[in-house]
Structure 1
C-alpha cells in the first residue's frame, strides 16, 4: 500500500501540514510573510493544493522585489529545517522571516540576476598629475566576498608621475569597504 507523504502522520501525530502551515511557528511566519491577497484563501485548502497553488504563483511581493513563489519555497524549506533542527536541540535564526528574505535575495542575486543579459560599456580611465610640488596617493582594496579574505594597497607619485612609495598587504577576513578604508589609512601613514 503506497504511503501518502503529504498526510503521513508521525508517531506523535505531527503531519506535514502541521509542520509547514498549521503549527504556531508556521502560522505566525505565514501571517507576517506578506502573502498576496489573492492567495490568502489557499491556507484553508488541503496541503497538496496549498503547496501547488503557492509554489506556482508568480506574484511580485510589493516593496520586496522578489516573487511570492520563490519566497514560499524558501519558507517551507526553512520551516522543515526548523522543525528538524528543533528536534535535535540545535539553534535556529530568531527571525525566520528575515532570514528567508535574505536567502531569497541571495538566490536572486546569485542565480536569477545572471540569467539576464547585461551590456558592457567602455570607460576611459586616466591618471591626472597633482599640482606642482604635491604628491598624489592612489589606493584600492578588495575582498573575495563580503566579508571574506581581503587585501589592499596603494602608491604615492610626485607631480611628474614618478613613483615615490608603494605598499600592498593581505588584510585577513573583512569587507571590501573596510579594506578600502584600510588602504587609505595605510597610504596616509606612508605619505
Structure 2
C-alpha cells in the first residue's frame, strides 16, 4: 500500500520516468500505459479478477484517484460475496496478488492464472481466522527458565550454535 501511494512500484510509467525502461505499455493487455491504477484496477486482466471477487463493472470502485481508492477500499467493511470476509480484508490481498500475477507473467511466463481470486479469498479467510480471532485456546502456564546447578555426580554441558543458510556455514560452542 505504502509503495502504491508513493509511486514506488515498478509499473511501466514509473520505470520510464526512472529511465529503466523505454516502454510504458501494459505487458498484460498491451493497450494502455501501465500506471499503478491501470495495473490494480483498470487493466482487463485485473477487472476479470476483481469481478470474481464481487466488484461490479458499473460500481464506484472505478472512480477517483489512487489515494482515494486505496483508502476507501481499505475501510470498506461490506461483504461482496456472501459469507466471505469484509472487503477491507480481501482488498489488500487482492492487489498484492494482482501484482504477483503481473510479475509471474513477465518474469516467469505464467500467463494463465485463473485462481488469483480464490487465492485472495483463501488468504483473507486465513488472516481473518488466525489474525483477527481473539479467542484464547487452552490454558497458559508461566515457567521460569534459569540455570540450575546439576545434582551431585552429574555434569552440565551448556551449548549454543548458529548457522548461515541451510545448508551453510555453522558453528557450535560447548562449555
The interval holding the TM-score normalised by the smaller chain is 0.5 to 0.7
Residue 65 of structure 1 aligns with which residue? 84
Residue 26 of structure 1 aligns with which residue? 46
**Superposition deviation, residue 116 in structure 1:** 3.4
1:50 alignment partner, SS class: helix
Q: Let me know the Cα RMSD of the aligned residues.
A: 3.2
**Alignment partners' CA distance in 2, 1:33 and 1:59:** 12
Residue 158 of structure 1 aligns with which residue? none
Quickly say closer, same or farther: Cα 1:87–1:62, change in 2 above 3 A: closer
TM-score, normalised to structure 2, is: 0.55
Residue 62 of structure 2 aligns with which residue? 43
Which structure has the bigger radius of gyration? Answer: 1
TM-score, normalised to structure 1, is: 0.51
Does residue 96 (structure 1) correspond to residue 116 (structure 2)? The answer is yes
Gaps of 5+ in 1: 121-191
Residue among 73, 84, 95 paired with 1:76: 95
**Superposition deviation, residue 49 in structure 1:** 0.8
Does residue 5 (structure 1) correspond to residue 7 (structure 2)? The answer is yes
Aligned residue pairs total 116
**Superposition deviation, residue 61 in structure 1:** 3.6
| Larger strand fraction of residues | 1
**Superposition deviation, residue 101 in structure 1:** 0.9
Runs of 4+ in 1 over 6 A off after TM superposition: none
1:65 alignment partner, SS class: coil
**Alignment partners' CA distance in 1, 2:62 and 2:129:** 29
**Alignment partners' CA distance in 2, 1:27 and 1:65:** 19
Does residue 52 (structure 1) correspond to residue 71 (structure 2)? The answer is yes
